[in-house]
Every structure is written in structure tokens, then in C-alpha cells.
Amino acid sequence: MHAQWAPAVQDPQPDVEAPPEVRAPARLLEYKRGCFVAFPAHATIGLVENPKVVPVPGAPYYCLGLMPWQGRQLPLLDLDTLLRAYPAATPPDSGHVLVLAYQSAPGRPLEYGAVCAPWLVQMIQVTDAQQCELPPDSDLWPWISLACFEHEGHAVPVLDTARLFGPPQP
């Protein structure tokens, strides 16, 4: 008699849960109606309402001037003007500004700057699955962005505050 070999029956593996998706907090800023950027949450310091802005002769076209903040004078940038690459006919309203921190190099002290925040700034959670390409509407995105993600149908560049406020890089 010939013995037939049946495949061994394996014990079913217990259900293994997938590791939870890692989420990173980010501050979402609508800098122009329907256009968004994000900043790493640790880089956002606070929101200032109606700052007094002092124009600075010879400042870059996208810098509205300096604003006082905690004993310092911070440069105030308009992201829409920067990305458009020319100033608007009328200066933007600086009713609210977002104060940001950055380091010019590892181990250096924190420095600060501010950007116009014309609409509500939101805290959101971002995952790797949301990664997408930078928007094609400005040549500056690759120079000032760390990454880009999709949020509610919009490509949202994550800005590097050191590149945004620091000296131009070659």
C-alpha cells in the first residue's frame, strides 16, 4: 500500500495588527485664498494680532518690514508676494502674523521671523501616505520646502524656516 502524503496543516497565525500610522503635527497656513503652506509644529511660536510694522528701506520686495516681538525686531514676510516674485500694487494687510523659530546652523541659538497669516492657522496631523509633488506655481518651492503633502485636495509645501529667513543658498 502506498502512503499518501498530505500537506501539513499549519496552525493559523494570530491576527497581527499593522503598526499604527505615524502622524506628525503641522501648522497649516492659508497664505492666499485657496493656497496653503505648512510649518513643523515645533517651529511655530505664536500668533500676533495687529503688529506695528516699521518699513525698512532696501528690504527685499517680499519683506513688509520689522515688527517688535519680545524685545526683538522680527522680519515680516508676505509669502504670497515672495512666491509671486513681485510686489502687489497695494501692500497686504498684516492683521495677524505667525511667529516662527529657526536655527541658522546646528548648535546655533534660535532666531525668529514672522509671516503674514491672513486666515486662521490650523493644527493638523500629517502622515507619510499624504506625500505628494510640490505645486508647479512657483520656482521657489524647491528652495524653501522640506517636503509636500496633500490635504483636502491641495498640495501643501512644508516650509523650512531657516531657508525662508536665512541668507539665500547657492
Q: 53-64 pLDDT, tens per residue?
A: 999 999 999 999
CB 25 within 8 A of CB 124: yes
Residue 63's nearest CA partner among 97, 39, 34 is: 97
Buried residues in 35-54 as b, exposed as e (16+ CB within 10 A): bbbbbbeebbbeebeebebe
Q: For residues 51 and 99, give the distance between their C-alpha atoms in angstroms, rounded to a whole number.
A: 11
What tens digit of pLDDT does each residue of 3-12 get? 444 454 555 5
What is the arithmetic mean of pLDDT over 60-71?
Answer: 94
Predicted confidence at residue 57, as pLDDT, reads: 95
What domains are defined for the chain?
A: 38-165 (2.40.50.180)
Q: pTM, whole model, 2 decimals? A: 0.83
